[in-house]
Structure 1
Amino acid sequence: MALNISTPSSPDDFALMPHTRAKLEAVLDGTVKFPGNGVSALLLYGVYGSGKTTMAKLLPGWLETVKTTPVLQSIPVGSIIDSTQPNIDFYSCAQGQNGASLIGQIQSHVMTMSFNPSCLHYVILDEVDNLTAAAHASLKAIMNYTHVVFVLTTNHLNKVDPGVINRSIVLDMNSAPTSAWVSKIKSIYAASGKTPPTDQAIAGVVNAGNGSARTILTDIEITQSIRERQFEDE
């Protein structure tokens, strides 16, 4: 029987570095005004498979929920899930869809009324480093709007315009502490009703994954499958 690895829905479903979790929770619980003070974007960076796009798609819902409902009066910030399903515009900055015309399209749209209860527009730009230089310049201009939240992802932070970075809260999605992953994987085993491997064995899988959640979770499933076959053969 396979492990019960559910799709993430809350901040606690991600294994994050402590400083990344602290910044994320500060945004969600209102410790920092966001958007505000010239900052209108959350910029997620990390290796392939680190969960950037998955979290990017969840962030607008988390933000809309904390801004328009009293959810934080009853649960910790790490347990927030999207209860509002806001309107979101998602753009993959692929070749041929990465020029200034894309940013012009976004600008035209965000100048219309938002139907979200918060009155905010949410715009996700996946792999924002693929934008052309002209598109980066245009993006900086519309990032000054106070009624738009941008969620940006990149595998290559050094390829993102410094002005875009300066208008963003940067969230490092690279490898979380091994202990955080061990705890996460043991919770998966508990939810699946299975006995986990030793902490040392789990740590070996985590460290081999080099920060990729996709690789770590795939490898732990393979490890469990091998364990079960060995048990059947005994």
Structure 2
Amino acid sequence: MNRSNKMNTNNYTPVTVNDIVYGSEESKLRIEEIVDGHIPFPFFGKCAILLYGTFGTGKTTLAKIIPNAIEVGKTKEELAMEAEFIACQQGFTGPQVMTLIQKQMAVSSFNASGLHYFILDEVDNLTKQAQQSLKSALNTQRAIFVLTTNNISQLDKGLMDRCVLVEMNAAKPAQLSPLAKQVANDMNVVLNDIDLHSVIAACNGSVRNVAYNVARFARRKSI
């Protein structure tokens, strides 16, 4: 492969909520309303955001971006305390989850908002008991939780009722086209309409696959 066809895929990792390729305008609006403060949050029994949808749509990436975005929107200041990231392992029990949350909540928040932030990734891996415990933990105004799941059907309905639901399903080809063109341009690869369609079709709606597929196409073009 020519040196000009090499790339650093980290250059395409989203860093703001606006960098995310959303599957629908409604999903984008729900995030923007919370981040921009148009809707008070936590508010009216909801202190969590649930990002749900298929694999490869940027749920975990967005979950990691949201806490700082909310803090900046509320206070104009960056997070002073990083969000607590909890990778939910298969079979996680209620006491295990609550121990992690309570340990963090027992410490005073250094964030300007006074809020604690938690990210629970792949929350569908939690046992039913753990989901019940988490549901109880969401009865607070002192913390914001961001949850992700590929299998929303596995979640407790009461838990979901305490969340703002944001669908994160596959983006349409037209939505992935700008990113594919940007990657191709950065790699000095020319994509005609047929090439572009082929590259995007192979992504199966996954943002994660865009840079990889363009890189693969570039390598083949250079042979």
Partner of residue 60, structure 1? 67
- For 1:119 and 1:147, how far apart are their aligned partners in 2? 7
Partner of residue 18, structure 2? 12
Partner of residue 201, structure 1? 195
Partner of residue 88, structure 1? 83
Q: Is the 2:83–2:116 Cα contact (8 Å) retained in structure 1?
A: yes
- For 1:18 and 1:54, how far apart are their aligned partners in 2? 18
Q: Output one character per residue of 1:17-64: Cα deviation in whole Å (capped at 9) or x when no partner.
A: 211111111111112111111111111112222211111111111111
- For 2:54 and 2:87, how far apart are their aligned partners in 1? 17
Q: In 2 relative to 1, CA 188–86 (structure 1 residues): closer, same or farther, beyond 3 Å? A: farther
Q: Which moved more, 1:134-143 or 1:6-15?
A: 6-15
Find 1:2's aligned residue among 6, 11, 31: 6
Q: Output one character per residue of 1:90-122: Cα deviation in whole Å (capped at 9) or x when no partner.
A: 1111135x1111232113431432111111100
- For 2:155 and 2:85, how far apart are their aligned partners in 1? 18
Q: Is the 1:175–1:210 Cα contact (8 Å) retained in structure 2?
A: yes
Using the size of structure 2 for normalisation, the TM-score is 0.88
Residue 140 of structure 1, CA deviation: 0.8
Q: Would you say how many aligned residue pairs link Structure 1 and Structure 2?
A: 215
Find 2:157's aligned residue among 150, 153, 162: 162
Q: Is the 2:94–2:133 Cα contact (8 Å) retained in structure 1?
A: yes
Residue 125 of structure 1, CA deviation: 0.7
Residue 85 of structure 1, CA deviation: 5.6
- For 2:54 and 2:190, how far apart are their aligned partners in 1? 27
Aligned partner of residue 201 in structure 2, secondary structure: helix
Identity %: 34
1:218 aligned onto 2:222? no
Q: In 2 relative to 1, CA 216–188 (structure 1 residues): closer, same or farther, beyond 3 Å? A: closer
**After the TM superposition, which residues 93-172 of structure 1 pair with which residues of structure 2 at under 5 Å, given as runs?**
93-95=88-90, 98-105=92-99, 106-172=101-167
**After the TM superposition, which residues 8-47 of structure 1 pair with which residues of structure 2 at under 5 Å, given as runs?**
8-16=14-22, 17-47=24-54
Partner of residue 173, structure 1? 168
Where do 5+ consecutive residues of structure 2 fail to align? none
Q: Output one character per residue of 1:155-192: Cα deviation in whole Å (capped at 9) or x when no partner.
A: 101011111111111122211121111012223334x1
Aligned partner of residue 42 in structure 2, secondary structure: coil
Q: Is the 1:44–1:172 Cα contact (8 Å) retained in structure 2?
A: yes
Where do 5+ consecutive residues of structure 1 fail to align? 71-82, 230-234
Residue 193 of structure 1, CA deviation: 6.1
Q: Is the 1:60–1:86 Cα contact (8 Å) retained in structure 2?
A: no
- For 2:195 and 2:158, how far apart are their aligned partners in 1? 43
Q: Is the 2:49–2:163 Cα contact (8 Å) retained in structure 1?
A: yes
The structure 1 segments of at least 4 consecutive aligned residues displaced by more than 4 Å after TM superposition are: none
Q: Is the 1:88–1:121 Cα contact (8 Å) retained in structure 2?
A: yes
